[in-house]
């Protein structure tokens, strides 16, 4: 619960707040501040909102226009705060549609899914083990049950104190998880952090297990936008902000942020210096490092070193292909893959996205998207793109004879990395300047949230911290419980802490 306070500012005392970054975190902060009556200026360097979920128009070889983005994102049901943000313009979340399953396929032939897995803890985890072909009786007998006990009662933030010094792969090796389950389930989840599981903190892996299995009753089913991200999500939120009186400035990169006279904060753009009563920095890792480096009078030396030490995850690739024939009708909208030489998942966009479905209906073709996470920095890009295409042909052989009408390949390397031992050094929402806060999925947050939900949650927290200073109430936040939901499992988990 936020600290108590008045409902909103009066017009005569409304502060001016600059929000730097128009992704999920920045939009959450800007929306809350504007709803409370603050005079918000939102700075976004790109020409559209959405950050790493932005989209842009591209003209295909057949003359049609399509909206390209950085690829598939799952809107899980336990992303309560992100979904609360989206409800500002879509109260019934009608612009999200459910996908029936989260299937996983290994190149060795094993396939897992979550549609039939119970969603109520602890039956969710037990059901997954019972229904999964990756867990045989011999595998279960070979596991180290005592080493697995921490999975039964993940406590936030204690999980970081206990497991941040251990790699995700090392934890699974300690538990002696079956090799197939190791690759098919947990590797798929760890790579959703755009990281190699050998480098990812085990604490983040345990947190994910808690969020999706034993900490919530929503399971691993999720929704996806029914149209490209801009049309379905961000353009409505941008319009909502402007109706609240916010000044939304796209195509406006911020070059620096500086403490100013009278406790104010100056935001420096390429054209001017803009003074605000407070600022929220809601930037990706690289942009945050650059902005702080260009703001020499911001923060303490130790805080600045922490920002400079933030790391970006390895490069990832999104290949979107427009094919001249349909993918087989029984193929899922989304498929997680493992063992296919770097191919991490396949999406068939015309199964769920309106724009892609209309193109497919008009042409008789299909729109397919391929992801590769944590690509080696020395990898040859064209070779990786070919490997992904070869993987698609192995998984969905009917695509082997398809003609490619057009293709787009997006290479990026701007997601946060959570390596072993990094949690204590990560910056928090609060900074050495009481009038400057941070938000984003790289920002430390002692709540059980991750990925897009961490971005939305820290955005609301960053705005709430500023509002509390002015005696205005913030946002009520919802998360899965900070500890395991089952008393029996908590008791077993406690045994593992002895």
> Residue 145: what pLDDT?
80
- ∠ CA 6-278-305, rounded to 5°: 130
pLDDT of residue 6 exceeding 60: yes
Residue 281 has pLDDT above 90, yes or no: yes
75-87 residue pLDDT tens: 999 999 999 999 9
Q: What is the pLDDT of residues 286-328, one digit of tens each?
A: 999 999 999 999 999 999 999 999 999 999 999 999 999 999 9
Task: Assign 489 a pLDDT band (cuts: 50, 70, 90).
Answer: low
Residue 34 near residue 41, CB atoms below 8 Å: no
Instruction: Kindly state the average pLDDT of the residues 246-256.
Output: 98
Band of pLDDT at residue 494, cut at 50, 70 and 90: low
Does the pLDDT value for residue 493 go beyond 70?
Answer: no
Q: Residue 247: enclosing H or E segment and its boundaries? A: strand 247-249
pLDDT-derived band at 191, boundaries 50, 70, 90: low
pLDDT of residue 218: 83
Percentage of residues in the chain with pLDDT exceeding 70?
Answer: 90
How far is 448 from 466, CA to CA, in rounded Å? 22
| H/E run at residue 148 | helix 145-148
Residue 374 has pLDDT above 60, yes or no: yes
Model confidence pTM above 0.85 = yes
Stronger pLDDT, 460 or 178, i.e. the higher one: 460
Distance, CA of 464 to CA of 426 (rounded, Å): 20
Residue 130's pLDDT is what? 65
* C-beta atoms surrounding 380 within 10 Å: 10
Q: Residue 132: is its pLDDT beyond 80?
A: no
The CA distance from 86 to 93, in Å, is: 7
Count of CB atoms within 10 A of residue 378's CB?
A: 5
Q: What is the DSSP annotation of 2-35?
A: PPP-BSS--GGGPPEEEEE--SHHHHHHHHHHHH
Sequence-ordered alpha helix ranges (H) in 348-413: 354-363, 381-395
Write out the H or E segment, with its range, that includes residue 368: strand 366-372
Confidence of residue 190 (pLDDT cuts 50, 70, 90): low
Q: Taking 80 as the threshold, does the pLDDT of residue 234 lie above it?
A: yes
């Amino acid at each position: 619960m936020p600290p108590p306070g008045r409902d909103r500012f009066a017009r005569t005392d409304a502060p001016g707040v600059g929000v730097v970054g128009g992704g999920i975190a920045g939009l959450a902060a800007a929306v809350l501040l504007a709803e409370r009556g603050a005079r918000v200026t939102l700075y976004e360097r790109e020409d559209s909102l959405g950050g790493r979920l932005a989209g842009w128009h591209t003209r295909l070889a057949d003359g049609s226009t399509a909206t390209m983005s950085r690829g598939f994102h799952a809107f899980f049901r336990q992303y309560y705060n992100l979904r609360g943000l989206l409800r500002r313009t879509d109260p019934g979340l009608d612009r999200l549609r459910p996908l029936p399953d989260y299937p996983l396929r290994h190149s060795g032939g094993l396939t897992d899914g979550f549609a039939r897995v119970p969603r109520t803890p602890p039956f969710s985890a037990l059901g997954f083990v019972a229904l999964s072909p990756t867990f045989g009786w011999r595998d279960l007998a070979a596991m180290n049950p005592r080493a697995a006990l921490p999975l039964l009662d993940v406590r936030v933030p204690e999980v970081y104190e206990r497991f941040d010094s251990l790699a995700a792969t090392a934890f699974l090796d300690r538990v002696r998880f079956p090799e197939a389950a190791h690759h098919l389930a947990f590797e798929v989840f760890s790579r959703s952090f755009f990281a190699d599981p050998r480098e990812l903190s085990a604490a983040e892996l345990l947190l994910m297990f808690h969020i999706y299995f034993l900490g919530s009753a929503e399971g691993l089913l999720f929704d996806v936008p029914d149209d490209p991200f801009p049309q379905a999500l961000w353009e409505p939120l941008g319009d909502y902000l402007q109706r609240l009186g916010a000044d939304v400035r796209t195509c406006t990169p911020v070059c620096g942020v500086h403490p100013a006279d009278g406790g104010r904060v100056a935001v420096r753009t390429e054209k001017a210096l803009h003074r605000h009563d407070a600022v929220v920095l809601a930037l990706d890792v690289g942009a945050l490092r650059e902005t702080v480096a260009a703001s020499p009078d911001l923060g303490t030396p130790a805080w600045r070193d922490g920002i400079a030490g933030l790391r970006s995850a390895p490069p990832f690739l999104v290949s979107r292909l427009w094919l001249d024939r349909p993918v087989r009708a029984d193929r899922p909208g989304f498929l997680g893959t493992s063992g296919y030489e770097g191919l991490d998942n396949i999406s068939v966009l015309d199964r769920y996205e309106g724009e892609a479905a209309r193109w497919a209906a008009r042409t008789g073709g299909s729109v397919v998207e391929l992801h590769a996470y944590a690509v080696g920095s020395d990898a040859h890009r064209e070779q990786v793109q070919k490997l992904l295409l070869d993987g698609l042909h192995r998984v969905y052989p009917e695509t082997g004879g398809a003609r490619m009408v057009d293709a787009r390949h997006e290479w990026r390397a701007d997601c946060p990395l959570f390596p072993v031992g990094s949690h204590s050094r990560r910056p928090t929402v609060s900074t050495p300047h009481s009038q400057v806060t941070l938000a984003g999925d790289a920002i430390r947050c002692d709540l059980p949230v991750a990925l897009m939900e961490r971005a939305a949650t820290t955005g609301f927290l960053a705005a709430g911290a500023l509002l509390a200073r002015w005696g205005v109430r913030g946002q009520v936040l919802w998360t899965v419980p900070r500890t395991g939901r089952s008393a029996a499992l908590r008791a077993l988990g406690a045994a593992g802490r002895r």
